[in-house]
Structure 1
Amino acid sequence: MDAVNEWLVTWGDNLWTWIVLPVVVLLGIYFTVRSGVVQFRLIPEMFRTLTDKTPRGEDGRPQSVSAFQAFTISAASRVGVGNIAGVGTAIALGGPGAVFWMWLMAFVGGASSFIESSLAQLFKIRDSDGFRGGPAYYMERGLKARWMGILFAVILIVCFPFAFSSLQANTITATVSATIGGETLAWLPWVIGIAVALLTALVVFGGVRRIASVTQTLVPLMALAYLLLGLVVVGLHIDRLPVVFAEIFTQAWGFNEVVGAAFGYIVLTGVRRGMFSNEAGLGSAPNAGASAAVTHPVKQGLVQTLGVYFDTFLVCSITAFIILVSVPDLSSATRGIGLTQDALVSTLGSWSSIALSVIIFLLAFSSILGNYYYGESNIEFITPNRGVLTGYRTLVVLAVLAGSVVGADLVWSFADGVMGLMALTNLIAIALLSGIAFRLLKDYTRQRREGRDPVFTRDRLPGVTGIAVWENELSVTGPIDLTTKRRQSAKHRDHLHTES
């Protein structure tokens, strides 16, 4: 078993280092240049569209989940234990300089996230809960390659809702056991596992709207709690902050390193851990982005780019500062969650370990929900059979239970490599379809310059086939909103007539 695990680790490392990461970086730079640095230029639009009113249907109900709810579903998957364990590992391996490369990767990856989520919105379809879509859908409808969509869907289902969700459950069990001192109690993992599995079942059997209602509460709550904890730690070590910033920027270039090869290792560590955390370009977040009811595909592209920034510049940075201000000497630092936990306890005392355990539970459980939804969207792509969906939900709950009571090393090594294949498949697709995304962006910015709230209909992209929705303005904005607009227009005409 050790030999298999070692082979999987080596295979995954080579795939990411020599194939996936170069493609990610080069495409991210290309998308940045071609889009006119959209991930920076339209930051104000990201916040504006995040709170957009959700278009309603003829029955007066929202057509699907809101832009904010789609943001929280994707954030639930993005913001997981990796934001604590992954950052701790990156700093332990690559030093403070790895943080700089995580930041840079988030900025470059923001352009890739914009492209993939805009495409997911464009090629989404309607279902009983509202909308669904993602890479599998734009591979089928945009590239006319259903085989590619099925391949992607299968890889994602194996990777996220099964492998990664079981790992999140394993982390919950390990953290709770350590907090209450029950590592030696053989029955405790089963109790914790059953409890987490039941909580998961209560949410996932309720469909995407219930998932959205849970994540829109959990995600802001856990982010705020972790932010407050981090600010207290940084405040108590405020004198260290200038030194920490200096270390992040100087050691990113290997200025303080003796061995020349250290520079490349720092870069690879920061870039890889950053991508694992924010998922930009992986093809996971577009599954959530496609579920939103918005009036223009670019709006959700911008919202999901903001999700990358939320994950890296806020949550990951909090972890980095907690560690770097509290642990000046990283030479003997432990990797993963242990490094963050030691940093908190050394500053705030043993109670902070309990607080971190609660935050880790929220992080891990919300990730399980986000991962589940990604899988559901792709199950429905492969087959509309409701029995298959019920079976999938049952297997996810069982995977959560199994992950709570078994070892995780082999599963992590396997999922790590499989996720590289998933990312590569998605990157090829968005590279081929990026021209359509740039046309969408051009249409959006033109309407904004005209002072309009952009509304997209498929006749605005002549020559592009496979678009299932966006039929006309009535279907996009909703009959209620459109009627209101007409009434306002009529009042405006009457006003002009009276003045004349």
Structure 2
Amino acid sequence: MLGEINDFLNNLIWGNILIYMLPALGIFFTISSRFVQFRYFFKMFHILRDTVHDKDGHISSFQALMLSVAGRVGGGNIAGVAVAITLGGPGAVFWMWIIGLIGMSTSFFECSLAQLYKEKDALETGVYRGGPAYYVTKALGQRWLGVIISVLLMFTFGFAFNATQSFIITTSFESSFNIPTWITSIAITLIFAFAVFGGIKRITRFSEVIVPIMAVGYLLIAIVVIALNYAQIPHLIALIVQEAFSPTSAISGGIGAVMLQGAKRGMFSNEAGLGSAPNVAAVAYVAHPVQQGIVQSFSVFIDTIILCSCTAFIILLSGVYVPGQSGVDGVLLTQNALIEHIGPFGGYFVTVALFLFGFSSILYNYYLAENSLNFFNSGNKSLFTIFRIFVIALIIWGSFQDLASIFSFADLSMGLLAVINMFAIALLYKPALRLIKGYDRQIKEGIKPVLRYNDYNEFKIDKAIWKEIVDNINDIRKQN
């Protein structure tokens, strides 16, 4: 009965609320901000180039971006896209692109708000904390809601999703290389422990190494596949667009099934609006919240438009995909498609890619859980140590379990988190619009934007934090 209730609530939240709520609010944010995700797209490169380094060693925009990509980019990019194509046909890819482009604005809003309402970490010098729990508490004055958000984040990402990632990695290595799951789980936990016991700064340093390797490696493989089949690319793109509006390959449901599968793949993959990425966005040391909103918007683009498309092209350019065929395992379909293109090496590559994607997601998930714990506890180092040991134990435990039911409950908690977060962003869209207008104004004045914190008195921000940041950045700019 508990499982039936969980399934009912999952279908209600994901199939009847979020499937409409996320794109609808994304369109609203896009129009009200005058298409901010496209207007500022190329500014992202300037923001990353102008990263500020100071004596306290704050976390840079690039490091925060890599940690965010570590979470958005995961096994779902390999398996989830395959499932979407299997159930919705090639047209699902088009709607995946659309939901990704719309989601860029949602991510911009939530991550800009996380920056605006961030606070200092009580235990680690030069580190900030923030996210939905913080902005619903400070801006809306609803700490009880912040507590609920923190609990949902901790359970979903720190416990359930990390155990699941461990299961995926260890079983994949056992299948491909015949390595027992317990050996792989011990290796994962040793590397993981070294990263997390060094704090968020070490976690971001791991991410800025692992993420570019996995993303670029996967992109290069896709480029090789496209180069080998370049003559088919125009026809493939035309097929994707045609199937998006006149589907012939969807298993059931017609155009509705195609749109649903593409939208689900986009939402699950890029996490825009789900309330997870803002926790990472808040740690970056930037002169203006809009700057990190722009960078995190680009993170959605990397995940959905670039890497999910890589998987889609690998599958659709192979002879492995059979329209209308159901019951195909997502990872297996991608793996077989890559083997078809480049031989047996393709199967091993998918396994290694899953390891890199999965481990980077474990680091990201852990940080979300730690940030949630920080919301309750701001000064007890022993509690953080116990928490880290507990998470490590769950990673080992997860490698020996069948996690289908736990993952299902995690989907439910993530759905509840998304509903709460989207309502909060909708209520706080005015501060976000004010941020955009202030940023635009300074760009027109020909100056490098900084947050003019005295213009935001009614929004209950911590002006002391922003005064320190702005004064420090202005001093660094003068010296340079």
Query: Is the structural similarity TM-score above 0.5?
Result: yes
Equivalent runs, 1:80-119 vs 2, <5 Å: 80-119=74-113
Q: Match of 1:245, as an amino acid? A: I
Sequence identity (%): 41
Q: CA deviation at 1:297?
A: 0.5
State the shift of 1:259 in Å.
9.1
Residue-by-residue CA offset, 1:181-224 (whole Å, 9 max, x unaligned) = 45xxxxx1112112211211111111000001000010000011
Structure 2 equivalent of residue 251 of structure 1? 243
Partner of 1:198: 190
Q: When the two structures are superposed, what TM-score results if normalisation uses the length of structure 2? A: 0.95
Residues 257, 205 of structure 1: CA spacing in aligned structure 2 closer, same or farther, 3 A cutoff? closer
Deviation string for 1:5-27 (max 9, x for gaps)? 45534431232011112111111
Structure 1, 328-337 or 69-78: larger mean CA deviation: 328-337
What is the SS of the residue equivalent to 1:460? helix
- 2:448 counterpart SS class: coil
Change (3 A) 1:468 1:207: farther
Equivalent residue for 1:301? Answer: 293
Distance 1:398 1:259 in 2: 41
Distance 1:244 1:389, change over 3 A: same
Q: How does 1:414-429 map to 2 (within 5 A)?
A: 414-429=409-424
- Aligned position for 2:371: 377
Alignment partner of 1:407: what SS? Answer: coil
CA distance in 2, matches of 1:158, 1:259: 34
Corresponding residue pairs, total: 474
Alignment deviations for residues 399-448 of structure 1 (CA, whole Å, 9 cap, x no partner): 11111111121122111121110100100111101100000010001001
Q: Which runs of 5+ in 1 are unaligned?
A: 183-187, 489-500
Matches within 5 A, 1:466-485: 466-467=461-462, 469-472=464-467, 475-477=468-470, 479=472, 481-483=473-475, 485=477
Match of 1:316 in 2: 308
Contact 2:104 2:300 in 1 (8 A): yes
Deviates more, 1:398-407 or 1:257-266: 257-266
For residue 453 of structure 1, what is the aligned residue in structure 2?
448
Larger radius of gyration: 1
Kept in 1: contact 2:196–2:203 (CA 8 A): yes
Contact 1:124 1:468 in 2 (8 A): no
Asked if structure 1 preserves the Cα contact closer than 8 Å seen for 2:250 and 2:323, the reply is no
Residue in structure 2 matched with residue 52 of structure 1 by the alignment: 50
**1-structure distance, mates of 2:158, 2:250:** 43
Q: State the partner residue of 1:32.
A: 30
Displacement of 1:335 in angstroms is 3.0
**Which residue matches 1:495?**
none
Question: For the residues of structure 2 that align with 1:395 and 1:244, how far apart are their CA atoms?
Answer: 48
Deviation at 1:117, TM superposition (A): 0.3
Q: SS where residue 322 of structure 2 aligns?
A: coil
Task: Give 1:141's match in structure 2, choosing from 110, 135, 138.
Answer: 138
User: Which shifted more, 391-400 or 461-470?
Assistant: 461-470
1:389 paired to 2:381? no
2:429 is equivalent to residue 434 of structure 1: yes
For residues 290 and 165 of structure 1, what CA distance do their matches in structure 2 show? 22
Q: Would you say the 8 A contact 2:250–2:258 is kept in 1? A: no
> Could you tell me how far apart the structure 2 residues matched to 1:367 and 1:469 are?
33
What is the SS of the residue equivalent to 2:128? strand
Shift of 1:486: 5.0
- 8 A contact 2:90–2:249 mirrored in 1: no
Query: Does structure 1 retain, via aligned residues, the 8 Å contact 2:160–2:410?
Result: yes
Provide the rounded CA distance (Å) in 1 between the counterparts of 2:76 and 2:443. Answer: 37
- Give the distance between the partners of 2:40 and 2:270, measured in 1 at CA: 19
2:60 aligns with: 66
Q: Which amino acid aligns with 2:18?
A: V
Alignment partner, residue 331 of structure 1 = 324
Per-residue deviation at 1:239? 2.6
Q: Which residue of 2 aligns with 1:16?
A: 14
* Pair 245,200 (structure 1): closer, same or farther in 2 beyond 3 Å: same
- Give the Å deviation of 1:49: 1.2
Runs of 5+ consecutive residues of structure 2 not aligned to the other structure: none
Shift of 1:382: 1.4
| Deviation for aligned residue 1:54 | 1.7
Q: What is the alpha-carbon distance in structure 1 between the residues aligned to residue 293 and residue 396 of structure 2?
A: 35
Matched residues in 2 for 1:271 and 1:416: separation? 16
- Segment drifting more, 110-119 vs 235-244: 235-244
Question: Is the 1:279–1:285 Cα contact (8 Å) retained in structure 2?
Answer: yes
Between the aligned partners of 2:106 and 2:464, the Cα distance in structure 1 is: 23
What is the CA distance between 1:109 and its match in structure 2?
Answer: 0.8
Q: Report the alpha carbon displacement of residue 177 of structure 1 after superposing the two structures with TM.
A: 0.6
1:156 aligns with 2:156: no
Equivalent-residue separation in structure 2 for 1:100 and 1:222 (angstroms) = 24
Distance 1:206 1:281, change over 3 A: same
- Choose from 156, 170, 174 the match for 1:173: 170
| Separation in 2, partners of 1:257, 1:351 | 29
- Contact 1:125 / 1:468 at 8 angstroms: preserved in 2? no
Secondary structure of the structure 1 residue equivalent to 2:74: coil
Q: What amino acid is the match of 1:164? A: F
Distance apart, 1:462 and its partner CA? 3.2
Q: Which amino acid in structure 2 is aligned with residue 236 of structure 1?
A: L
Q: Give the TM-score, by structure 1 length.
A: 0.91
Greater CA deviation, 321-330 or 251-260?
251-260
1:221 to 213, 218, 231: 213
Distance 2:470 2:463 in 1: 16
Separation in 1, partners of 2:250, 2:171? 38
Contact 2:133 2:146 in 1 (8 A): yes
Is the CA contact (8 Å cut-off) linking 1:70 and 1:291 kept in structure 2? yes
- TM-align CA RMSD: 1.8
